[in-house]
Amino acid sequence: MDQGDAAVWAAGIGVIGTSIGAFGGYFAGRAQGRATVDGVRLQLSGQREDAVWQAELDAFAALIDQFNAARMQIGTVVAKFEASRRELRRLSPHGGGTREEAYAALMECVRELVVRENALRLRTARTYANAATAVRVQLLDVLEVLQAYCVARARGRRAWSLHRQFTSQMAGYISDLDAFVRDAQERFSRPRPGS
């Protein structure tokens, strides 16, 4: 082999080596790119799971807040209807509204509660959503008796039997709400599934 052939042969080997290196680099880069994409997908999946978990937690918190707001507003309504008209007139300059305004605020609170319950239903398992519905149904039972009690009080009757029934229904509501809150606390005190 003379020098010219050796130079051509060496150049050919160099081209082949460069080609092999280029192909190797291409495939290594492709593998690295695929690994990067897979890593980003995994990260996005984890972020999505975190966002879903946070949305569920927020929905539980909002609903529990609304259940408690209804509980407080029921107390306001009862206080208004247990007060005499004269007591209400004496208190009116200090704010707080009328009996009717207090009752209307309670109904608005319940409407908002239903909205928040529906939001929770979209973000959690059926078991938890059904537990929330059970508490709301208990609240509606309270409101049914409360309405009859308020009508009787507005007509000037003492309505002791309705008051006892209301007190019993309210105790059931508070008990169910407390159990719902405990279950939510237990659920969200554990680490997020998949983490």
Query: pLDDT tens-digit profile of 132-181?
Result: 999 999 999 999 999 999 999 989 888 999 999 999 999 999 999 999 99
pLDDT band at residue 87 under the 50/70/90 scheme: confident
The whole-number pLDDT of residue 182 equals 96
Q: Strand, helix or coil at 95?
A: coil
Q: Count CA within 13 A, CB hemisphere, residue 124.
A: 26
pLDDT for the residue numbered 10: 47
Q: What angle do CA 73, 179, 74 make, to 5 degrees?
A: 10
The pairs formed by 161-165 with CB atoms below 8 angstroms and a separation of 24 or more are: none
Per-residue pLDDT at 8 = 47
The rounded distance, in Å, linking the Cα atoms of 116 and 100 is 24
How much is the pTM?
A: 0.74
pLDDT digits over 13-48, tens only?
554 555 555 555 555 555 565 655 555 455 555 577
What mean pLDDT value characterizes the chain? 82
Per mean pLDDT, which range of 10-19, 108-117, 129-138 is the poorest?
10-19
User: How many C-beta atoms surround the C-beta of residue 146 within 10 A?
Assistant: 22
Mean pLDDT of all residues in 69-96: 84
Give mean pLDDT, residues 96-112. 92
Q: How far apart are CA 113 and CA 63, in angstroms?
A: 6
User: Is there a contact between 109 and 73 (Cβ–Cβ < 8 Å)?
Assistant: yes
Residue 183 CB neighbours (<10 A): 14
